[in-house]
Amino acid sequence: MKRCPECGREYDNTMMFCLDDGAELLYGPARSEPGAIATGFRSDEPQTAIMHSTAASGEAPTRAQIDTTEQTAVLPSGIREPVKNGLDKRLLAAPFLVAIIALGGLFGYRYFTASDAGQINSIAVLPFENRSGDADTDYLSDGLADSLIYRLSQLPNLKVSPTSSVMRYKGKETDVATIAKELEVDAVMSGRLSQRGDDLSISVQLIDAGTKKLIWAEQYDRKMADLLATQREIATAITQKLELKLSGNETGITKKYTDNNEAYQLYLRGRHSFAKRTKEDMLRAIEFFKQAVKLDPKFALAYARLSEVYGTMPAYPYLSPREAFPEAKAAAEKALEIDPTLSEAHTFLAYAQVIYDWNWAEGERSFKRALELDPNNFSAHFRYGQIYLLSTGRIDEGISEIKQGLKAEPLDVNMGVTVAWADLIRGQNEEALEVARKIHDLEPNHLLSRWMLASVLTEMRRHDEAIALCEKWLQAEPNSQMAIRDAGFAYAKAGRRDKAEEMIARYRELAKTEWVAAARIASIYGALGEKDKAFAELEKALEARDWEMHRLNVELYMRPLRDDPRFKAMLKRVNLPE
């Protein structure tokens, strides 16, 4: 720490001059005034916010000239106001405020404004605006926001909207109050990023959604090599400004996941590609993460994200389970070998243990360990509810865990449709329809919103509506395996055998060039009453360990087969209760 030799006020090592009297700061003990504590304040005097220089290492800030006073007082707003000889305080405050403005300009305009709002308990970090003029650098602007979200999410007393929720606002002019209301947060952070060669300029601002007042803002002019340190610096600054306390000796807010800047940029590229969810982008994400861990073999978080991509691909399906899940499991185990405390790695290990291994006991242990390490890991809450609890018939517990995720992601389509799916499982069809319609109205072109609404309509025997929805879906995505399955199932339930068999024929054609989940063909045969053919396809699905098999016991598409003794035998083979 540094102290002012004149007033004794303490500063961190980045400061050069005292904000009160302009004296050059020194390392070591300061002169103590009678009745003053080490900080230079009286023991009953509240401290004001401290401004720090944002100059990169080796850059000398410019000294500001500040008028000094004999005594200071603290306003309710937190601004320290000079007092001298009973003169008008407003007049004496003016030079001081001018000095503050000067410091802001000289030191990169970090400034703090008083906030009359209540406690900030939740925050949304919006995708940063890319001012580089090059879409290829979106991975930097989106990735920086994603990294800040991840770091801030480690704080136990702060709710942070996940990346999946904030990405909908990218490139949109949306009022802060509207965003805060939709995401149910107290504050919104936005930023701009510009890259010119090796030069990087990042500006950020944090706004109180209730008052629309600026809480904090800053500009960082850095080199690309400083990117890692800068995102940690921004996260720490937000934490300090909101007066949030860190827990434990090392938290994700300051934890160094890698010291390799190039590996970190590859990690950001991987996250950016994965978010697009196309097959090509997900395969590209795998390559980025692999390159990242090649540059830094101790980059545990990159291994965990590699596991996430592999584990997700069979659900679409972009890879077969036998291609994807062994890779997913190996990557998660490697991450835990490097860092056993990484919650994400336990989450994605559990994903493979349940969906592919059908090892329910180990899967639950891994989920619980992930939540023990990070109770704010809302993805773990959601997946524990969706993948494990609902599949094992623990419906109420499952919904409770999923709603833990929804607290952080109230607009997340995946979580919303899973709530609707859970309502269908327990026979609450009207509730499911209400949720499904809201989600579809919000995201009409999202494949999950289409899937859920089609499923609810078919379950409620509103076949004409379900078929109309599926046919529109197929026009937009003729090779979507989910659309083909839902259309075939709805046709079969409506008694339109020819159209249902046409969907099976589509699957056969697709299987010539890509992986097709046999369980989806089985569901259409089951709805047609062709049980022998349905079970023949399920045998293939068991052998291939299709993604759908882990929830065989509650899967809506399997209801026509449940009264067959062969179905109970299959449940035992998947280690599921009857």
Q: What is the pLDDT of residues 241-266, one digit of tens each?
A: 776 654 443 455 667 789 898 998 89
**Average pLDDT of the chain?**
79
Looking at residue 187, what DSSP letter applies?
E
Task: Record the tokens describing residue 514, joined without a space.
Answer: 């890509």
Cross-strand bridge partners of residue 203? 192, 219
pLDDT band at 58 (very low <50, low <70, confident <90, very high): very low
Whether 332 shows a pLDDT value over 60: the answer reads yes
Instruction: Give the mean pLDDT of 5-20.
Output: 55
Percent of the chain with pLDDT over 90: 45
Instruction: Give the mean pLDDT of 24-32.
Output: 52
Instruction: Give the mean pLDDT of 386-403.
Output: 91
Q: How far is CA 262 from CA 57, 142, 228, 288, in A?
A: 20, 17, 10, 11
User: Could you give the residue ranges of the DSSP H alpha helices within 47-202?
Assistant: 89-106, 138-152, 163-166, 176-183
Q: What is the pLDDT of residues 276-328, one digit of tens each?
A: 888 899 999 999 999 999 999 999 999 999 999 999 999 888 999 999 999 99
Task: Record the tokens describing residue 494, joined without a space.
Answer: 């409506």
Whether 338 shows a pLDDT value over 50: the answer reads yes
pTM above 0.85, yes or no: no
Whether 3 shows a pLDDT value over 90: the answer reads no
Domains and CATH numbers, the chain: 1-114 (no CATH), 122-248 (3.40.50.10610), 461-578 (1.25.40)
Whether 538 shows a pLDDT value over 90: the answer reads yes
d(C-alpha 337, C-alpha 360), whole Å: 22
pLDDT at 78: 34
Q: What is the pLDDT of residues 132-156, one digit of tens each?
A: 777 777 887 788 888 888 888 777 7
d(C-alpha 283, C-alpha 45), whole Å: 58
Say what the alpha-carbon torsion angle 446, 449, 455, 458 is, to the nearest 10 degrees.
-90
Burial of 202 (0-12, 13-18, 19+ CB in 10 A): buried
d(C-alpha 339, C-alpha 100), whole Å: 44
Which residue type occupies 243?
A: E
Return the SS3 of 3.
strand
Secondary structure, 3-state, 319-343? CCHHHHHHHHHHHHHHHHHHCCCCH
Chain centroid offset of residue 117 CA: 26
CB 54 within 8 A of CB 16: no
Cis peptide before 127 (omega within 30 of 0): no
Location of structure tokens 């073999």: 297
Percent of the chain with pLDDT over 70: 77
No. of helices (H) and no. of strands (E), the chain: 22, 12
Looking at residue 34, what DSSP letter applies?
T
Q: What is the pLDDT of residues 31-45, one digit of tens each?
A: 433 333 333 333 333
pLDDT band at 369 (very low <50, low <70, confident <90, very high): very high
